[in-house]
Structure 1
Amino acid sequence: MTHILIIDDDEDDRELLTIAIHEVDPSIHCAMARNGEEALHGLKVMEFPKPHVIFLDLNMPRLNGDQFMNELRKDRELHDIPVVIYTTSKLKEDAEKMRALGASDFLTKPTSFNELCRSVKEILAKVTTHS
């Protein structure tokens, strides 16, 4: 079974992404966290299974996307998890910075559900063939 962790402070965005993921593959298990701090804690205490991929928002309270990536990459048990940035940011600098921190993909939150499903399908195809 494929496990995905969605880290986003916006409940509607978490829900929409989960629906899109299940549209692509209903068997995928999605765990959720409201910020990087909650996600990091959950990963370290194994509150949820080690994910095959993490979808990470950048702008969150407590521990934002940048800070989460820095902490994740320092952890010997978790550093190899592929991370897809899932954000409203369209800034090229944000994409470059997150790729430099090890993000495997950068997805700007799409305006249409079909576009989101198409992007999720492409990303999951890449990630699951490399795991």
Structure 2
Amino acid sequence: MNYKNILHVDDDSDDCELFMEALQEVSGALYTAIYNPVEALRKLIDKEIKPDVIFLDLNMPFMSGLEFLTEIKKNEIIKEIPVIIFSTSQFSDIIQEAKEYGAHDFISKPNNFNDLKEILSKYAHTL
């Protein structure tokens, strides 16, 4: 996988900052973080943003990651964008449910920066 335009939907700005820093060390991919899933969905539908892939947190206010994923898969304009769940949750039933909802992959958020860089280097367009 060699994504060049990454959207990260996560309500935790610290997680987004860490994600961006790790991505910049391993990739030249464009990066957009949106902290509100409702806003992200609107921007996707209105074609304000056109990512190659979406990294999606599950536990967010206003709209959960699974609700967001469900809405994406219902929309003809954006349903083909791969969605990678990027969450602290590691429960097998949640992973299975996310895949049933149409998630492309499921990644547990790593505990350290180097592991995050290694994960992102597998998905992002490398330098």
TM > 0.5: yes
Tell me which residue corresponds to 1:43: 44
Work out whether residues 35 and 64 of structure 1, in 8 Å CA contact, stay in contact via their aligned partners in 2. Answer: no
Q: Percent identity over the alignment?
A: 39
Tell me which residue corresponds to 1:33: 34
Tell me which residue corresponds to 1:129: none
Deviation at 1:120, TM superposition (A): 1.2
User: SS at the partner of 2:124?
Assistant: helix
User: What's the RMSD between the two structures over aligned residues?
Assistant: 1.7
Q: Which amino acid aligns with 1:62?
A: F
Tell me which residue corresponds to 1:19: 21
Q: Which amino acid aligns with 1:104?
A: H
Q: Which amino acid aligns with 2:12?
A: D
Tell me which residue corresponds to 1:62: 62
Tell me which residue corresponds to 1:86: 86
Distance 2:7 2:123 in 1: 14
Deviation at 1:124, TM superposition (A): 3.4
Distance 1:124 1:30 in 2: 10
Q: What are the Cα deviations for residues 36-92 of structure 1, in whole angstroms up to 9, with x where unaligned?
A: 2111011122222x1111000000011110100000001101001011111110111
Work out whether residues 70 and 101 of structure 2, in 8 Å CA contact, stay in contact via their aligned partners in 1. Answer: yes
Q: TM-score, normalised by structure 2?
A: 0.91
Q: Which amino acid aligns with 2:5?
A: H
Deviation at 1:97, TM superposition (A): 0.6
Deviation at 1:6, TM superposition (A): 0.4
Number of equivalent positions: 124
Q: TM-score, normalised by structure 1?
A: 0.88
Distance 1:124 1:102 in 2: 20
Deviation at 1:121, TM superposition (A): 1.4
Unaligned runs of 5+ in 1: 126-131
Work out whether residues 57 and 87 of structure 1, in 8 Å CA contact, stay in contact via their aligned partners in 2. Answer: yes
Unaligned runs of 5+ in 2: none
Work out whether residues 3 and 30 of structure 1, in 8 Å CA contact, stay in contact via their aligned partners in 2. Answer: yes
Work out whether residues 29 and 124 of structure 2, in 8 Å CA contact, stay in contact via their aligned partners in 1. Answer: no
Greater RCO structure (CA 8 Å; 6+ sep)? 2
